[in-house]
Amino acid sequence: SAVISQKPSRDICQRGTSLTIQCQVDSQVTMMFWYRQQPGQSLTLIATANQGSEATYESGFVIDKFPISRPNLTFSTLTVSNMSPEDSSIYLCSVVDAPGTDTQYFGPGTRLTVL
């Protein structure tokens, strides 16, 4: 399976600022996704990161708050904008690494705390 890394692994940020999270994969992958895991909760899909076009957002998530880029088949970024304490979560990227399959593999996550 693909090896996925995320930067930063954790951060503590002030209210009103923005943080960009990077997701790097060691091979070209067909699909990339971003998820949020709030404290003690399950994973919620934020968006599908589409290569070369705008991301596809799930209900409740908007581009102004969570802009996503995917410039190529191995890299994506998620920005958490104008942060509030409610944005404190673990943010995970995941990939589907083979066409015709739907098994997702997850990065280690970025633990974000907003003060």
Partner 1 sequence: GNSVTQMEGPVTLSEEAFLTINCTYTATGYPSLFWYVQYPGEGLQLLLKATKADDKGSNKGFEATYRKETTSFHLEKGSVQVSDSAVYFCALSEREARFGAGTRLTVKP
Residue 89 in the binding site for partner 1 (CB under 8 A): no
8/108 with CB nearer partner 1:
108
Tell me the closest approach of the beta carbon of residue 21 to partner 1, in angstroms: 14
Q: Would you count residue 42 as binding partner 1 (CB under 8 A)?
A: yes
Q: Which two tokens stand for residue 100?
A: 């015709």
The binding track of 57-76 with respect to partner 1, each residue x by CB under 8 A or -, is --------------------
Among 2, 7, 24, 43, binds partner 1 (CB under 8 A): 43
The residue from 19, 21, 107, 114 that contacts partner 1 (CB under 8 A) is 107
Residue 69 amino acid letter = S
Residue 3, CA atoms < 13 Å, CB-side half-sphere: 1
- Tell whether residue 104 is a contact of partner 1 (CB under 8 A): yes
Task: Output the DSSP codes for 13-57.
Answer: E-TT--EEEEEEESS--SEEEEEEE-TT--EEEEEEE-TTS--EE
User: Considering beta carbons, is residue 89 or 94 the nearer one to partner 1?
Assistant: 94
> ∠ CA 21-30-103 to the nearest 5 degrees?
90
The residues facing 5 across adjacent strands are 24
Residues of the shown chain interacting with partner 1 in the complex, contacts defined by CB under 8 A: 1, 31, 33, 41-45, 48, 92, 94, 102-109
